[in-house]
Amino acid sequence: MNRNKNNNMLKVSFPYFILLIVVIGTLFFFNIAGNEVHDLTTGEFMTAIDKEEVVELTITPKSSDSVYYLEGKLEGYNEHESFKTKIIPEDVEKISEYATNHNMNLYDTKKDPGSSSILYIIVNLLPIVILAAVTFVLFNKMAGGNKNSMDFGRSRAKLSQDGGKVRFKDVAGLKEEKEEVAELIDFLKNPKKFQKLGARIPKGVLLVGPPGTGKTLLAKAVAGEANVPFYYISGSDFVELFVGVGASRVRDMFKQAKQSAPCLIFIDEIDAVGRQRGTGLGGGHDEREQTLNQLLTEMDGFGANEGIIIIAATNRPDVLDPALLRPGRFDRQVTVSLPDAKEREQILEVHAKDKIFDKDVNLENLSQRTPGFSGADLENLLNEAALLAVRRNRENISMDEIDEATDRVIMGPAKTSRKITEKEKRLVSIHESGHAVIGLKLEDANDVHKITIIPRGVAGGYTMMLPKEEKIAIMTKNEILSQIVGLLGGRVSEELYYGEITTGASDDFKKATRLARSMVTEYGMSDLGPMQLEHQSENVFLGRDYGKTKNFSDQVALEIDKEVRKIIDECYAKATEILKKNKDLVMLLTDALMKYETLTKEQIDYIVEHKDINFKSEDSNEEVEETLAELKKQAKEAGIKGYSKMNKEELKKALEEQNK
């Protein structure tokens, strides 16, 4: 075993020793290339002496006293030219006399090199030793600093014998995803049950989903439930500077796995090594592609990999090579999507186990307020809240810390030290009030949950608007148009009630234009008809998309621009109409923001209902809030449309009519 290991190490290291020799040889070549040395015979040298052409001379006697070595220069030589020759002892006297007569101060008699061999070795070999040491250190760094620093081809996969401590109970939500991978656990525990019926278990499972949704955690849970050896590695660990190293690591990983079968191999971020082949702008056959080819061969080649199941994770399935996704390799793809409200509540409960909360903290309400949050986002939110509680010297975590943590995660920390003029403060208040009123009065708009003019990140303020009901992926045309109207509400409010337009709506325009263009080119929601003319991708894959051209003419491009303009103009007019009708509410919200800087949903509802910004005492206000919330709940259960925009009196009237 050790012999094979040493042979493998020697095989892998051999190219690098060759490289070292080439480098050393190159250095010596350039060191001597600049000097030209002429070899003179004894006769030619003595002729030069007779002609008095020797201008520099150095004599080095041999220890045997039978030969003398001479170096020097002749007339006509440049500074980089010299000669060398050798003479017998009988000629030394003549040459010495010549040197004396010509006042050759550079004439010297060196000692025998053999008498100072140690110094000679040190002077000549020291640069080589230093270069070799530096090269060894560099190789060691590139090899990860392990003991086998020259063994690049060894797999970097880490082995967990018991699969780790993670179990399915530690993975909140992901009910369907757990069911998809449960077969793998059953197979690893009882493979004969599947073999009896001729069933073939998937060789590979690809976990696909946005970052932070729990793909890696799910893979660890599979290994923990199966209680089998668990190899885990990142896709980037295969990629190396030197050609052939990645493929060698793939072979070594599968070799180790076969010895531990049945087992699991988990490759995280497989897109680092599994990208489509031939997409490089500078040529296709690179180190990464060789690694991918080896991975494809090992997964479904001539060799048998019985008892080895591969789980991979990626958030970029669009860039993976099709050969990697075919049946026989990654047979099954499991989409790990963002959690819904119920799953977010479960995730929050998992991460809240080791934290101390106030009685007013309601995780169910928090889950409703965090649509679009991943599991990692929720964990970070509670951690930020805990850090804020510690910073404030509190013994537990209250809703104040959770609200602040939510804002920090979404928009960044508050810029409380930033000085804001009254003019700017009022401008931001008018802008955000415009957004809020659209949300309050437009039927299909999102609910307004919070308004603040406290600067966060690059924003001077923001209005938190959340959907009334959480949807998976489907939106109606009216809902999209309502979003665009809401985005334009800030600019319209500035124009109507400030008398001047500002740069504060630039991000709103960006989002609105993107939605409008998607309606025209992707969703078929325009006069151009049900056609998909473009496909907007957040992640551009240059190698794949470089050669693509648009599939429509310049005339169609002009029509697209006209339709986008038409949608924006109509939504702008709609926002203007709503805000003109509700001027009093815009001014009330503006004054409230000037006074309080931040308004909660309950405070906003109070202003809408009572047309007053002077809130009652905390107790009475809570009573009013509870009454309004209860009425809205009853209206929702009764199926009353537009209940979220109604005040208390309107809700009572609608419920009475419904009960008749």
Active site residues: 432
Beta bridge mates, 256:
none
Contact between 171 and 178 under an 8 Å Cβ cutoff? The reply is: yes
Q: Identify which of 630, 627, 586 has the alpha carbon closest to the alpha carbon of residue 608.
A: 586
Helix or strand holding residue 96 (H, E): helix 92-101
In angstroms, rounded to a whole number, what is the distance separating the alpha carbons of residues 580 and 598? Answer: 24
What 3-state class would DSSP assign to 30?
Answer: helix
In angstroms, rounded to a whole number, what is the distance separating the alpha carbons of residues 55 and 73? Answer: 6
Q: Which two tokens mark 27?
A: 């250095």
How many CB atoms neighbour CB 622 within 10 A?
12
Q: Identify which of 316, 138, 322 has the alpha carbon closest to the alpha carbon of residue 235.
A: 316
Angle, alpha carbons 632-634-639 (nearest 5°): 95
For the chain, give the longest Cα–Cα distance.
Answer: 139
CA terminus-to-terminus distance, the chain: 88
Contact between 619 and 474 under an 8 Å Cβ cutoff? The reply is: no
Contact between 519 and 476 under an 8 Å Cβ cutoff? The reply is: no
Strand ranges for 341-443 from DSSP E? none
Contact between 231 and 256 under an 8 Å Cβ cutoff? The reply is: yes
Question: What is the three-state SS of 128-142?
Answer: HHHHHHHHHHHHHHH
Q: Are strands 332-335 and 204-208 parallel, antiparallel or unpaired?
A: parallel
In angstroms, rounded to a whole number, what is the distance separating the alpha carbons of residues 625 and 630? Answer: 8
CA dist list (Å): 373 to 53, 129, 178, 354, 567: 91, 57, 20, 21, 30
In angstroms, rounded to a whole number, what is the distance separating the alpha carbons of residues 245 and 265? Answer: 19
Angle, alpha carbons 547-551-553 (nearest 5°): 120
Residues making up the chain, counted from first to last = 660
Q: What is the DSSP string of 511-553?
A: HHHHHHHHHHHTS--STT-S-------SS--HHHHTT---SS-
Tokens 């080649």 locate to: 301
Contact between 508 and 500 under an 8 Å Cβ cutoff? The reply is: no
Strand order in the sheet with 263-268: 158-160, 230-234, 263-268, 308-314, 204-208, 332-335
Question: What is the three-state SS of 190-247?
Answer: CHHHHHHCCCCCCCEEEEECCCCCCHHHHHHHHHHHHCCCEEEEEHHHHCCCCCCHHH
DSSP symbol at 270: G
Contact between 205 and 243 under an 8 Å Cβ cutoff? The reply is: no
